[in-house]
Amino acid sequence: MLKTGISSRRLGSRRARKTSLRRRVFDLLLATAILGALLVVVARFDGVAERSISGKARIADGDSLSLDGERIRLRGIDAPELAQRCEKAGSDYACGTKAREALVALVSGRPVTCIGWERDRYDRLLAACSAGGVELNRQLVLSGWAVAYGDFAAEEASAREAGRGLWSGTFERPQGWRKQHGGMAEDEHLLVGRILNWLRQALRI
């Protein structure tokens, strides 16, 4: 009986040692994989460095433009799509076109400077842009021709209270309109999205 008990303890001890060894090997492999991933990210960190671009802009719609061959999406805002229509005083109107006209008027042919580092799923640079000392992102929301999309909530509240731009009538938020009409899927510009964008760029995925 004593010999059986000793044998059982020895067997249990050997199994424990084997389990412990497998665990250490697994932990070592996991740590190596994590370290390798971090090294890849660090090696490609320059790919997500902040960019500053200046020049003559070509306005695509109320929240996007092209500058020096770079497609740019104004970060933190969302303007009606070009084909989108809204309602005012019982009649519908081309609010998407109006939003583009508002951006054209803000730029007013002046050089535009855009600064950013993120890229969305369509490889557009998400940036804060200005022209003649006017911050385009903020002013579009403040004038009511774009809504907050991860930023500028206070500016949206001000435009809504004053009934400026889109807020002078009724409209569907651009994100909802895109979902109904098969437009480009765009994530709101929030912290989680920024992390995913950073990883996508760093790992080139």
CATH number at residue 113: 2.40.50.90
Burial annotation 56-74 (CB, 10 A radius, 16+ → b, else e):
ebebbbbbbbebeebbbbb
Element (H or E) spanning 33, and its range? helix 2-43
Tokens of 39: 């090294």
Q: How many angstroms separate the Cα of 37 from the Cα of each of 33, 40, 54, 94, 196? A: 6, 5, 35, 48, 15
Query: In sequence order, what E strands does the chain have?
Result: 51-55, 57-61, 64-67, 70-74, 77-78, 86-88, 91-93, 112-119, 125-131, 134-135, 147-148
Q: What is the pLDDT averaged over residues 122-139?
A: 96
| Burial of 95 per CB tally in 10 Å (0-12, 13-18, 19+) | buried
The yes-or-no verdict on residue 203 having pLDDT over 70 is no
Tokens of 72: 């740019």
Q: What is the pLDDT of residues 23-45, one digit of tens each?
A: 787 777 776 666 545 544 444 44
63 and 37 co-located in one domain:
no
31 and 114 co-located in one domain:
no
Pick 131 or 5 by higher pLDDT: 131
104 and 38 co-located in one domain:
no
Name the residues annotated as catalytic. Answer: 73, 81, 124
Of 10-24, 80-94, 111-125, 144-158, which gets the smallest average pLDDT?
10-24
15 and 53 co-located in one domain:
no
Tokens of 6: 């000793």
57 and 143 co-located in one domain:
yes
Name every residue whose Cβ is closer than 8 Å to that of residue 179 and which is 6 or more positions away in sequence: 185
12 and 60 co-located in one domain:
no
Between the two ends of the chain, the Cα-to-Cα distance in Å is 63
pLDDT of residue 165: 98
101 and 129 co-located in one domain:
yes
Of 29-33, 37-41, 72-76, 163-167, which gets the smallest average pLDDT?
37-41
19 and 69 co-located in one domain:
no
Of 84-88, 154-158, 162-166, 185-189, which gets the smallest average pLDDT?
185-189
175 and 198 co-located in one domain:
yes
pLDDT of residue 121: 84
Q: Reduce the DSSP state of residue 13 to 3 states and report it.
A: helix
Boundaries of domain holding 26: 2-43
pLDDT of residue 5: 56
33 and 60 co-located in one domain:
no
Strand 125-131 and strand 70-74: the pairing is parallel
Name every residue whose Cβ is closer than 8 Å to that of residue 167 and which is 6 or more positions away in sequence: 144, 159, 160
Q: Give the distance, in angstroms, between the CA of residue 120 and the centroid of all CA atoms in the same chain.
A: 6
79 and 173 co-located in one domain:
yes
91 and 21 co-located in one domain:
no
Phi, psi of 25 (to 5 degrees): -65, -45
Structural domains counted in the chain: 2
For the four alpha carbons of 80, 196, 204 and 55, in that order, the dihedral sign comes to positive
